[in-house]
Amino acid sequence: MKRRLIIDCDPGADDAVLILMALAVPQTFDVLGITTVAGNAPIEWTNKNALKLVELAKRTDVKVFGGCRRPMLRKPIYAAYAHGETGIDGSSMPEPKTSLQSRHAVDFIIETLLHSSQKVTLSVSGPMTNIALALIKEPGIAEHIEEIIFMGGSTNGGNITPAAEFNFYVDPHAAHVVVSSGLPMKMIGLNVTHQLVTSEHRLEILQRMGNEVGRQVAGMLAHGVEHDRVRFGLEGRSVHDACIAAYMLRPELFTFKKMRVLVDHAGEATMGASITNEYPAHINDQWLSVADSIQADQVFDLIIDLMRTYKD
């Protein structure tokens, strides 16, 4: 049976790879819709980027729903320093011909979950604003969620502050609502995603694979290489969000630990920090399945294989 999937995202080059991976395998994923949120770039750009990506994939059957343009309580924070002003600098996709759907992302999520005959997986690769507000507006959706698989948090420090990962930092209050909801979820944080990085060889394969998808992905991933090398000491650019799709397709490439996770939404120096603990006394009944390791070479091979399936 296909996994029913809503992709909630803030594209973002790494979100773009996640979307293209999921859309490449319609035999595996029934993508019910893509919902956008402000994060890597303002909502106007993340909306446009999502539309460009479904057109690039020739999957305009998958509709895009615009979501929240700011966090629940904080002022917006963007990541132009890593993704460029557009969120996908380095790509050259044309302006989209399709348009956003009229429904707001939060309403789409609620209505889709309530009327689904099968439980739905939520892939969450940006700030969790849409998901938190959907749970607040209609708590009854919880029983229709198979699991939430999200890229966010970390067990070993942050990438926007020493304590906090970007998605949690942008909207820590939303992350707190979702992470403390008690729903089944898997957290894939920086401790794992910083292992999935580009190299000159991998970018060359994408660039030369002979299709437009490969060329566009190579361009947008090449854009952030220097940032990740200088700031984090990585070999290339991290492709954080692709880990969500990779996990759903090849779960054996990851290991997870049962951990208690708290999101700091009140501190100053630690705002957005994910506080993790695996001692049994602290886990009790509030726990998450937290990614602990990744077979990164095989995951990147999977990315390349899926990008190669696209034909011009």
Q: For Cα atoms 73, 227, 35, give the angle at the middle one, nearest 5 degrees.
A: 40
- β-pairing, 288-294 with 254-263? antiparallel
DSSP code of 252? G
Helix (H, G, I), strand (E, B) or coil at 277: strand
Q: How far is CA 34 from CA 4, 108, 112, 272, in A?
A: 12, 10, 12, 25
d(C-alpha 124, C-alpha 103), whole Å: 19
d(C-alpha 149, C-alpha 147), whole Å: 6
Contact 7, 293 (CB under 8 A): no
Q: How far is CA 147 from CA 14, 122, 284, in A?
A: 21, 6, 19
Phi, psi of 235, deg, nearest 5: -70, -35
Per the listing, tokens 């990851």 go with 254
d(C-alpha 109, C-alpha 230), whole Å: 38
- Of 116, 151, 133, 176, the residue nearest 243 (C-alpha): 151
Contact 65, 103 (CB under 8 A): yes
Residue 240 known to be catalytic:
yes
Of the candidates 83, 176, 194, 240, the residue annotated as catalytic is 240
Q: Which residues are catalytic?
A: 240
